[in-house]
Amino acid sequence: MKILITGGAGFIGSNFTHYLVKHRPDWDVTVYDKLTYAGNLKNLELIKDQIKFVHADICDQNTIDEQIAKNDLVVHFAAESHNDNSLLSPWPFVETNIIGTYRILEAVKKYNKRLHHISTDEVYGDLKLDDPAKFTPDTPYNPSSPYSSTKASSDLLVRAWIRSFKIQATISNCSNNYGPFQHVEKFIPRQITEILEGRKPKLYGNGQNIRDWIHTEDHSSAVLKILEKGVIGETYLIGADGEKNNKQVIELILKLMNKDSDYYELVSDRPGHDLRYAIDSSKLREELGWKPKYTNFEEGLKNTIYWYKNNRDWWQPLKDKTEIKYSKIGR
């Protein structure tokens, strides 16, 4: 199998690339990445001799055409993905998430290749804190930020190309990932690295916003399961029943890092901060037989803290610039 992984030097994409090299060593893997601030070749350093790498933008039709023509399968991770950044500067999200996905769809259609499109649960908007419901593949789209609205747009483009042009594609919408190689601008690694640098972690607003956390290794295993057993045209939701509010997450990080439970500071809330995400992954589990490894969030978080403690040389160059950006907006 020859597989092209767009965005494979980013957080979730690089973790999937590592997982694939380990579990499907006979596959021919090519990573395609623009290497924006969120893409990092250091993420692939340990497997660089086992993959090919193409430094390019998915919006470049000629290059994406050339690479898709060479491969059997495309897994499309490439995206602008940080909500805060989308509020400050929406255009890169429109360009990469919508136009870039269009370029890939046209190439997949032209060369009759299989596509798996990676998306987010944020396309569904949010749920009330006391709502027992969870997102399902039938939940109506209701995105609330430039990031989530452009991801919703990309999902709808994929669905339209499946129906109108009969491309061979599947979609997955995943809850919030955590684990190694995640940029320090994101919630969990930011709090871990603040503590490692001797500062208090930051809690947005009142800390009651809930996210459904999944270890990135579990996301990777789910994607591989969809690639090998998923039904063309279907959408699968990936989640590990990891609902925690932000205050609980910070307090657990503090506990695991031997700090008092109130050793954090409150900062201004994010504009339009979604209240709650929750994934119903029963379709993936029952139809494809997938199950997560990290069913204990504390164990997965302990694993993540250990990685950041032992990889300071990876995150340190990113940290100062990130904190300067946040200080300007009071968060």
Q: Which member of 121, 126, 155, 212 is catalytic? A: 121
Closest among 275, 230, 222, 316 to 20, alpha carbons compared:
222
Tell me how far the alpha carbon of residue 68 is from its chain's centroid: 22
Give the whole-angstrom CA distance, residue 19 versus residue 24: 8
With tokens 């599947």, the residue in question is 170
Establish whether 147 is a catalytic residue.
yes
Q: Which member of 122, 155, 194, 243 is catalytic? A: 122
- DSSP character at residue 7: T
- Contact, 116 vs 173, CB < 8 A? no
Q: Which member of 147, 204, 236, 277 is catalytic? A: 147
The helix/strand/coil state of 175 is coil
- DSSP character at residue 145: S
Establish whether 243 is a catalytic residue.
no
The count of other CB atoms within 10 Å of the CB of residue 160 is 12
Q: How far is CA 147 from CA 205, 302, 318, in A?
A: 21, 29, 22
- DSSP character at residue 231: P
Give the whole-angstrom CA distance, residue 207 versus residue 267: 10
Closest among 48, 46, 44, 68 to 56, alpha carbons compared:
68
Which is it for strands 176-178 and 235-238: parallel, antiparallel or unpaired? unpaired
Give the whole-angstrom CA distance, residue 247 versus residue 250: 5
Task: Identify residue 134 by its one-letter amino acid code.
Answer: K
Establish whether 122 is a catalytic residue.
yes
Give the whole-angstrom CA distance, residue 319 versus residue 324: 9
Question: Annotated active-site positions, please?
Answer: 121-122, 147
